[in-house]
A = this chain, B = another copy of it.
Amino acid sequence: MSSHRPAPEHTHPDDVPLLAALDALADPVRIQIVRELAASQEWTRACGSFDVPVRKAALSHHFSVLRGAGLVEQRDLGPKRVNRLRRAEFDERFPGLLALVLRGD
């Protein structure tokens, strides 16, 4: 049986303002999550599996920002919430932005 928490709300990249996209990416924790997701198979990474130095409540907030910026899609898989990077859709809306983030510094 799946968890009873409400399904996460998503925003499609097409509906994301530029400012929200920049703001979502202007954070070291969220950059790290995006980079790890880009290096992983889709739907294989649970929210707790990222190498970021934040507690659960803060992590939930970061994922909420990432969903709201059209960067991350989530689904509940039994007790786990798994993730994928919305790479193609986000690229189409903001060409080149993810590439800058993923190329490193």
Contacts and interface: CB of A to CB of B under 8 A. Distances in A.
Copies per complex? 2
Interface residues of A, number: 18
Judged by DSSP, the binding face of A is helix
A91 to B, nearest CB: 11
A100 B101 CA distance: 14
A54 interface: no
Contacts of A96: 95-97, 99-100
B22 A25 contact: yes
11 contacts: A17-B105, A18-B31, A18-B101, A19-B27, A19-B31, A22-B25, A25-B26, A96-B96, A96-B97, A96-B100, A97-B100
